[in-house]
Structure 1
Amino acid sequence: MTKLISVLNGTGFQGRSVVKELIKDGFKVKTFTRNLNSNVSKELKGLGAEVIEYDFEGKSKEEIAQVLEGSYGVYLVTLTPYTKNEVEYGVNVADASLLAGTVKHIVFSTLPNAMEITGGKARLPDYENKCEIEKHIRQISKQSNDQFVSSFVSAPMYHQNFQTYYPPVKTQGDSDSYSITLPGKPDLKLDYGDINDIGKIVSEQFKNPAKYSGIIVPFSSDELTGDQVAEIFSKVTGKKVVYNSISTAEYSKSNNLEAGAYADMFDYYNEFSYFPSSFDKTFAKNITKLTNLEEFLRNINFKLE
């Protein structure tokens, strides 16, 4: 019988990639949305996914277990709109997965433990919440005597963020010059990747539960400084693109709606980088060819007008 995987938040960047790759690899997929009429919902349904209108927020673990019943695996990513009660949401889904009875494997999208890495100095709610959920998932997996396998994936800075949060901006008075402004130190190397690659990694984890039991698989196609990022944009677009490094305090005052949170994260990155040395990035590179920044920009035919 073909195994059924329930993908939570399947219409987001991560979930969408996971749904598509699981279907390619022969899994049955069930995913959930608040809007069945969205373009993404329709696309996933057209690919063969069962798309269900369901809002997990505020639901008990018993209610969630009923929805997950019949699934062999669960992919969990905790993103907006669940950030207000992210830990409660993630813990409830994990407990419900175990309670459902049929679920044997959960894959959770986590982040490095910034509190542990910095000795308690960094307060990054997005990181802390995911680490709390990861800790809980590991506990219930251990209590089940490994009958309930848990695996983890960890995404880098998305290449896609250069289309949304911090795209190159035209220099005033110079039609052929652009800048990328971030609060990263000039010599800071950050991990980048195409979020569309996450699906191949997660599918491989579901296909090999014993191999990836308890393992975090981070992925990174590039480790780049800001100047190297700008050079790649210049090469692809034929326009002059420069990297503009500013202080985190200055960046937090910008018009970017996420500027405050990004400034806090860059305070952390500037001292500790993105992935800690304990995160083994060779796992992902052995699973699939990762799309580097130049390839990504050429694939989407990125242009600067």
Structure 2
Amino acid sequence: MSQAVIDPKDKTIVVSGITGKQGGATAKALLDKGFKVRGITRDVNSSRAKAWAEKGAELTTADLNDQASLERAFEGAYGVFLITDHGESGAVEKEVKKGKATADAAVAAKVQHLVFTSIGNAKAAKFPEFHNKYDIEQIIAKTAGLPYWTVIRPANFFENMSKDSSFAPKDGVVQGLNSAKVRTQAVGCRDIGLVAAEAFLHPEEYHKDVIELSAEELSNEEVAQVLSKVTGQPWVYKQMFIFKIGILNLIGYKYQKMANFWAKPGYCGDIKKMRERYPWLQTWEEYFQEEYGKQNNQS
């Protein structure tokens, strides 16, 4: 990597979703690199927002559906880190509109670099909750007036098995949507943030870069074995029955589509190349060591 590095001093990066896992990881990485961070949140008085203020971030409110509010939030900023979600009514359509509003606001505010976190193998996903990320990628790529843009396509998250996740290991069981032998690529949110920070530091190198970010590919059965090694306790993998038979109405249907995607075509990162580029990428074992360590967490 020989491209020039910019000086982060006095450069502000606006981070959407700063109180979430990806946004929070990115904010931390940026602050550690010397950038100023301006976090977008719905409630600047929430405990999570105040925690970021104590770490040195500036907090502001903005609506990703409202371009004018975004332009105000982006004023004077060098870069923008964008993460979108479909957790609202009219989810899919609104998510794409958020992407367009953000790109247009970035141009209007003369932002130099937009980094968007999408989803692994987004183009191949045949259902809206995943494919809409690809639609946003295309909007960003076609937006005139953006000096630099970068897309990060992360695979499944290690954090899906964190202590506070709905898939948290419990009572000796690691649970998930697919069968035990299905291999799934994964990466930690920490590393999404670190890669985003690298992109902002190296704008020329990362311009128009679409990064299929994966750190490791294990079967669900192997993930349970890794957890057993780390905790010193026996863990087994079991497929969640409710998703296996495809019930739970619309929610179950959505998760079933996700499970089908993870099985085939799945994520497509070149893990060898990713580890050559980012040798510090976490493994499942390292993540579990941080999250669970050598203790009994089966209660």
* 1:276 corresponding residue in structure 2: 268
Superposed CA deviations along residues 136-186 of structure 1, whole A, max 9, x for unmatched, are 00001xx33xx521101122211111131322232xxxxxxx222333243
1:212 to 202, 206, 209: 206
Superposed CA deviations along residues 62-115 of structure 1, whole A, max 9, x for unmatched, are 3421321111100000025467211111110111101112x111000112455x
Normalising to structure 2: TM-score of the pair? 0.85
Distance change in 2, residues 1:98/1:169 (3 Å): same
Distance change in 2, residues 1:55/1:284 (3 Å): farther
| Letter of the structure 2 residue corresponding to residue 65 of structure 1 | E
| Letter of the structure 2 residue corresponding to residue 94 of structure 1 | A
Pairs within 5 Å for 1:179-194:
179-194=173-188
Superposed CA deviations along residues 261-285 of structure 1, whole A, max 9, x for unmatched, are 3221111222212x226x6762465
Contact 2:214 2:271 in 1 (8 A): no
* 2:133 corresponding residue in structure 1: 130
Residue 159 (1) aligns with residue 165 (2): no
| Letter of the structure 2 residue corresponding to residue 117 of structure 1 | A
SS of the residue 1:260 aligns to: helix
1:86 to 92, 95, 101: 95
* 2:142 corresponding residue in structure 1: 139
Distance change in 2, residues 1:198/1:192 (3 Å): same
Once the 2 structures are TM-superposed, how far is the Cα of residue 19 of structure 1 from its aligned partner? 0.7
| Letter of the structure 2 residue corresponding to residue 184 of structure 1 | N
Distance change in 2, residues 1:249/1:16 (3 Å): closer
| Letter of the structure 1 residue corresponding to residue 236 of structure 2 | V
Pairs within 5 Å for 1:37-186:
37-52=45-60, 54-59=61-66, 61-79=67-85, 81=87, 84=91, 85-101=94-110, 103-114=111-122, 116-117=123-124, 122-123=126-127, 125-140=128-143, 143-144=144-145, 148-163=147-162, 164-170=165-171, 178-186=172-180
Pairs within 5 Å for 1:257-272:
259-272=252-265
CA distance in 2, matches of 1:68, 1:246: 43
Residue 35 (1) aligns with residue 26 (2): no
- Structure 2 unaligned spans of 5+: 1-8
SS of the residue 2:38 aligns to: strand
CA distance in 2, matches of 1:19, 1:67: 16
Contact 1:200 1:288 in 2 (8 A): no
CA distance in 1, matches of 2:248, 2:276: 36
Residue 20 (1) aligns with residue 57 (2): no
CA distance in 2, matches of 1:138, 1:297: 36
CA distance in 1, matches of 2:275, 2:44: 33
CA distance in 1, matches of 2:134, 2:151: 11
CA distance in 1, matches of 2:14, 2:243: 41
Cα RMSD (Å):
2.5
CA distance in 1, matches of 2:187, 2:282: 7
CA distance in 2, matches of 1:43, 1:29: 13
| Letter of the structure 1 residue corresponding to residue 51 of structure 2 | E
Contact 1:248 1:263 in 2 (8 A): no
CA distance in 1, matches of 2:53, 2:262: 39
Distance change in 2, residues 1:81/1:226 (3 Å): closer
* 1:230 corresponding residue in structure 2: 224
Normalising to structure 1: TM-score of the pair? 0.84
Residue 298 (1) aligns with residue 289 (2): yes
Task: Name segments (4+ residues, structure 1) moved above 6 Å.
Answer: none
| Letter of the structure 2 residue corresponding to residue 128 of structure 1 | H
| Letter of the structure 2 residue corresponding to residue 287 of structure 1 | Y
SS of the residue 1:7 aligns to: strand
CA distance in 1, matches of 2:186, 2:142: 30
- Structure 1 unaligned spans of 5+: 171-177
